[in-house]
Each structure stands twice: as structure tokens, then as C-alpha cells.
A and B are shown apart, each in its own frame.
Chain A
Amino acid sequence: MEEPEQTVVTHVARPASASRPQEFAPPGEVVFDVKNVSIWYSAFKAVTDVSFNIHEHEVTAFIGSSGSGKTTVLRAFNRMNDLIPGARVDGDMDYRGQALYGNDVSPIAVRRRIGMVFQKPNPFPKSIYDNVAYGPRINGERNKGRLNEIVERSLRRAALWDEVKNRLNTSGLSLSGGQAQRLCIARTIAVEPDVVLMDEPASALDPIATGAIEDLMHELKSQYTIVIVTHNMQQATRVSDRTAFFSVLTDPDSDTRTGVLVEYGRTEQIFEDPHDPRTQAYVTGRVG
């Protein structure tokens, strides 16, 4: 849980191919500033006292065992937890200097800037075209020409265009698992979000489709900030710049379990030189 300040070092240390020059903002600007955040589902404290920063144009991976609160924290970033009755966020969670859970903040507006790709591909039962055009349309885009352009650009960026360009009018549900997940990514980036959250986006996919999605993340991070939850540690080392390791803390007195952030740092450091013994046990002991 140290070193969130070393942002510039991170970018110098990465090979040039992995992080292109930033035209948008100074490298490594903080996108999410998380301070002492605890998340509750009614009386159950799912995550306890988490603090860390997420940096612009980086891929940040959340790893850790089931029940350690990775997905809960991820879903807090675009306020998807609001949809669960009884969910509550304590502490400070800032997005580009604004309190995400401020009184006048609309979750709708938040989600238009912070998109999400889910574990299971969830294309709408609409045509491929309408799936991708859904986001732009809810933002008020009606112009047919511009929509066509957005759909093509998004599908190209999601590396799906060549496979579907001749059947844009067929159902999104007719695609294979890997294609459907790329469609969901295309749908997410069609609204030009600032951040893309991914909740185990490749866990239901075969290695080839997984590789395609990982390549995509490398492509996309020049334009977006990506946060990914993954159970696959090789995947974390392949795609991420920083890694957060979450773990389950059991309180023997009350027999309650809660998720905590054990260690956060550059991915190389977490995997090669973990400071916390729990991190070491996780990244070495249970690989493969």
C-alpha cells in the first residue's frame, strides 16, 4: 500500500510500445483517488478501509481470491453497486477531483464516463449494429451517418469489424463467446468513456479469444484508463502496469470475513518483489 506517488517513474520504466506519448494529459494523472473506503452490503462489510490511486492511461489489475472484494471495489467506481439494495460506500472516492458519491452526482452521468465490461458477455438481444449504437443513441446521437461511423470505428477498435461487417443486422446473440465479449467492449467504447472497468472479461473465453482481448487492452490504454479484475495472474502480468492484491481478512472474534487491500504497486514489483508475505504466497504458491 505504498508508492502511489511514483507515477512518472512508472511511465519511464515501461517500454515505449506499452505506453504511447500522452496527448491528453500529463502522464499518470490520478483518475481515481480512493481513501479509507469501506463498502457494505446491508450489514455485511464486504471491503474494509481501502486506499489507493488509479492512474490515467494505465491498466490496473485487481487480483486476489474470491470474496476479497475486487469486484465490489470495481463496481463502486461507476456506481453499479447503487443497483443493489442495501449497498453503501463509506470513505472518500474521488474521480478526477470530484467526490463520486457526492450528493449532486448522478450515477447516470458517472456511468456515461466510466464504462464497464462484465464477466459474462451480455450483448442485448438486438442487432450487432444496434448493440454498438445503443450508447451513442442514449446520448442523443440520431444522425445516421455519424452513427455508422461510430459503429464502424468502435468495432474496428474492438478488433471485431472484419468478422461482422457483412452481418451487422444479425442478432448480437448469434456471436461466439469471444466475439460477443468484443462486441460488449465495442459497445462500451462507442460512448468514448474516460475509464473502462473490466470484471474478469476473459474468464469465459478460450485462450485465443483471451489473447485477442488482452491485445485489445494494450491498444485501448493509450486512450482510456483501464481497470481489470482477473483471477488469472499471468493475465495480470501480461496486461497491467499496476496490480492491487486483495485478500480476505477473517475476524476470529465475530467470525466475519471482509476484503482488504494487502499490497498495491507496479506489476513487476508485486510479482517479482512482493513486500507482504500474503502477496508472496498468492503470487508464487498458487500460480497455474
Chain B
Amino acid sequence: MADVTAQRPGPQLQEPRSWRRTKNRIATVLMVLSFVLVIIPLGFVLVSVVAKGASVISWSFLTSSIPVSVAPANEGGIGPAVVGTLEITALATVIAVPLGILGAIYLNEYGGKNILARLIGFMADVMTGVPSIIMGLFIYSLWVLHFGYSGLAGAFALGCLMLPIVIRSTFEMLRLVPSALREGAYALGATKARVTMTVVMPAALGGIVSGALLAVARAAGETAPLLFTILGGLSAVNVNVFSGANIALPILIFSNASSPYTGAQARGWGAALTLIAIAFILMIVARLISARFSRFSR
């Protein structure tokens, strides 16, 4: 039996050398190349920030008050800016995330194709493209001119930046929830609010949370909107986020980077590394939370 089949010319299972095969090779090489191209600048940024910033990082650096620019690298720290960044970003999150999620729920679950929903969706998209410095100016003229510099004003500006990102990412997540799930809940006699809160939201929560945290991480690194709203230039912690000038890491990096003193520059690198670390931690938290919430979705 085996001999008979061996003699017969079998089907050709080897891919012939052909143009199709060459195209496949070229495409693969191009993809690897573009990946490398993307990773190079990212790697350089990370390596140079770590190389220049790691030497000054210590617990006292993260907590001490900001010294005068002429102080050597081993004196003082960035405590007030760390506190300011955490306070202001947290406040911006509290303002923008619930608003953005509710807005996206309206857009996807309630608005449908009506005029208001379309208008809001369009405005949110336009807001995504507004440069962050314009947001700063906006809050400056609307709030700071009347009530003065404060962490709250900075939170408003960052919130304005986060809002469209949160709306867009939440909207996309809600759209991914299959309508069969909604129908299943409706068929049991659930009201629209109930379907949204108990079926749609839990199904989309992982994606919504990670989208929101990405917006937070993005806002935490913004400089321009804060220049107009919290002023900066402090050396001590301002715990009161609602009044008085405040300081944040991006502003500190900005002023120290343009300083002629090597001590100030070193502290600037340290602040940059700290900011990246904060963003990194937020990303990890986002991943953990979305894994936690999608426990039942597979």
C-alpha cells in the first residue's frame, strides 16, 4: 500500500517561489523596520531621562521643598511639585471622568442620532483637536482673571483636555457592547437605565477605566494649560488646591530645563523621571483594573 502511494506524484505542498512569496517577505521586513523605528526614539527618551535623572532620585528628593536655582544638585527636591501634580490631576479626574462617562452614555445609549447627540459628539471631537495652551488661556480668561491662580483653575484646564478623550474612549467601548446583550436584558423587562447600569456598563467597564486612566496620564504631563492657571514658582507645598498659586512637575521641568545652573538642571531631569514614573504607574493600574473588570467577559 505504502509503495503505491509513494510512487504517485503527491499534491505539491511546498509554496512555490513566487511573487506572492516575495511580497510577503517585503511586507514582513517593512513591518519589523517600522516597529524598530518607533521603538528607537522611545528608547532614547527613556534611557536619557533615566541616565540623567536617576542619580538625584531619593526619598528626600521626592519630598523636600524646592531650593533656589543656584543650589547644587544634592540639595532640596521637588516635593511641592509632586504634591501639586497629584492634587491637581486627581481633582481634574474627579471633574472630567464622571462627566465624560455620563456624556458618552448619553451619546451611545440615549441620544442615538438626534441633533443634540450629534452636536455633542461633534463638539467633543473638535475639543480633542484644541491645543492645550488654548485650554489654558480659556480657563485663564474665564476663571483666573476673576478668582486668581489656583490648583482648581489648573484642574479645570486639565479637565477640559481630558473630557473629550474620556467621552471618545468611553463611547467607543460602549459601542463595542453587542446589542444582543441589551436585547437580552430588555427581554427580561429591564428598564433602559437598568440595562445601561447593570449590563452595558459592566461589560464595557474595563475599557472605560483604562481609557479614563490614559486620559489622566496624558493630562498629568501637560505644561501649557498649567502655566496660565497655577502660575508655578513656589518653593513650598500649597496643600490648598482651591486657592493660591500652585506648582506641578511639568512646570518645574520647564523652568529648570531653561535654567543655566547645573543643580537646577539635574533636579529637572529628576522631575522628568518622576513624571514618567507616575504615568507608568497609572498605565499599570489601568491594565490591572481592566483585567479585574473583565473577569467575566471571557
Contacts and interface: CB of A to CB of B under 8 A. Distances in A.
A83 interface: yes
Interface of B: 112, 178, 180-191, 194, 198-199, 202-203, 294-298
Contacts of B180: 118, 120, 122
Interface in A237-268: none
B294 to A, nearest CB: 8
A83 B181 CA distance: 13
Nearest to A123: B184
Nearest to A125: B297
Contact of A187 (B183, B188, B296): B188
A171 B298 contact: yes
Given A118-B184, A125-B296, A173-B297, A108 B203 contact: no
A116 interface: yes
- Chain A contact-residue range equals 20 to 34
A111 B186 contact: yes
Given A112-B188, A187-B188, A188-B187, A124 B203 contact: yes
Contact of B187 (A78, A125, A127, A173): A78
B203 A80 contact: no
11 contacts: A80-B183, A83-B186, A115-B188, A118-B180, A122-B184, A124-B181, A125-B297, A135-B188, A171-B298, A173-B297, A187-B188
A207 to B, nearest CB: 24
Interface in A209-225: none
Contacts of A120: 180
Interface string A171-185: 111100000000010
A124 B183 contact: no
Contact of A111 (B189, B199, B202): B189
Nearest to B297: A125
Nearest to A126: B296
B188 A80 contact: no
Contact of A191 (B112, B188, B198, B294): B188
B296 A188 contact: no
